[in-house]
Amino acid sequence: MHLKRKKCDKIYLSEGAEAPGEMGKKRLEMRKRVCLIHTGGTIGMAGTEHGYAPKKGFMQSILSGIPELNSEEIPGFDLIEYDPLLDSSNISVAEWVKIAQDIKDRYDQYDGFVILHGTDTMAYTASALSFMLEGLAKPVILTGSQIPLCEIRNDARDNLITSLIIAGNCRVPEVCLFFGNELYRGNRVTKVSSDELIAFDSPNYPALGEAGVRIVIRDTAVRKAGETLKLSKFEPKQIAVLKIFPGIQFEIFENILTENLKGIVFEAFGTGNIPESGDALHRVLEKAEKNGTVIVVCTQCLRGSAMIGTYAASLSFARAGAVSGYDMTVEAAVTKLYYLLSMNYDLETVKKLMGNDLRGEMSPPQSGEGTA
């Protein structure tokens, strides 16, 4: 889908309605600036007779009614509103690339970036951006809400205001997700609730920061800043995700295993176990290996790692040349596959790098600093 770009309008300046004095001018010159990108989602929806729905220009109008945004504690920001605004369930590779390109195009103009996004696929977008944007030296923070900003009682205001403060004033040079007073590494999060205000969790990596009485950043958990931003665009690739369950009939998946399927992520039991179901499983894995499909094994468990070979029940994966996903989320595994396949590496290189830590997305048993 082609998305039209709306002009970047300056929404707020710290001097308010009156012209600033000399001290005010100096403060303005020193004030950090953030680029606020509104892609859609619950946070900016308006109430209609058919329920909440995106509305063009509504975000700008509602932001103008939040007096806290005129505070000197809030960095100045410009708003980019996508047209059309999208429910996050409709966001895919093309939209990930557009967001990344918009950040790259404006990278030198801002101290940080905040992306307003629907919660359903926010973890996927955060993971995707972490792989596309290599060498970040500035914060890129995704946030949204479970209740729209237009409602009197909402979680949107705190998520938005705190994200702006962190993006403009904190040294967190990576793609993050802020929600429910927690700042997470973007490629470590997963959505854990559809209706609670604490909607996300980072089960295998500590939060990068917390917003309590004070905003505290855990410097030891944050990645080092890069020197030069490099954008690596994703290409559309056929990738599948298969969740294992008791009694699964593997033969029904044989038809999807064509030469066009470049990667498959198995959500296996425990540490990477799979039920032995005779010839059907063998044929599926053999066909995938023969077609050059990259097989990645993640765990269904919220916490812990998938390590092929821990139990005999993972032997079929080992024989098929599958890659352990360790403690990666499925969101990270899928977007990492998109990234590596888009780089046009040979099969062995893709498999090797899938098992390496590239952007802080995983903790392999003996992790070195991965680069790609």
Number of alpha carbons in the 13 Å side-chain half-sphere of residue 268: 34
> If DSSP codes are grouped into helix, strand and coil, which group holds residue 189?
coil
> If DSSP codes are grouped into helix, strand and coil, which group holds residue 348?
helix
- Can you tell me the distance from the alpha carbon of 217 to that of 215, in angstroms, rounded to the nearest whole number? 7
Place of tokens 């992790």: 367
Identity of the amino acid at 365: P
> Does the annotation mark 42 as catalytic?
yes
Task: Report whether 112 contacts 174 (CB < 8 A).
Answer: no
Task: Report whether 153 contacts 147 (CB < 8 A).
Answer: yes
Identity of the amino acid at 309: G
- Can you tell me the distance from the alpha carbon of 337 to that of 345, in angstroms, rounded to the nearest whole number? 11
- Catalytic, out of 42, 119, 125, 293: 42
Task: Report whether 334 contacts 296 (CB < 8 A).
Answer: no
CA distances 340 to 14, 21, 332, 346, 358, Å, are 43, 53, 12, 10, 11
Per-position b or e across 304-342, b if 16+ CB within 10 A of its CB = ebbbbeeeebbebbeebebbbbbbbbbbbbbbbbbbbbb
Task: Report whether 281 contacts 274 (CB < 8 A).
Answer: yes
Task: Report whether 365 contacts 307 (CB < 8 A).
Answer: yes
Strand partners for 12: 77
Which residues form the catalytic set? 42
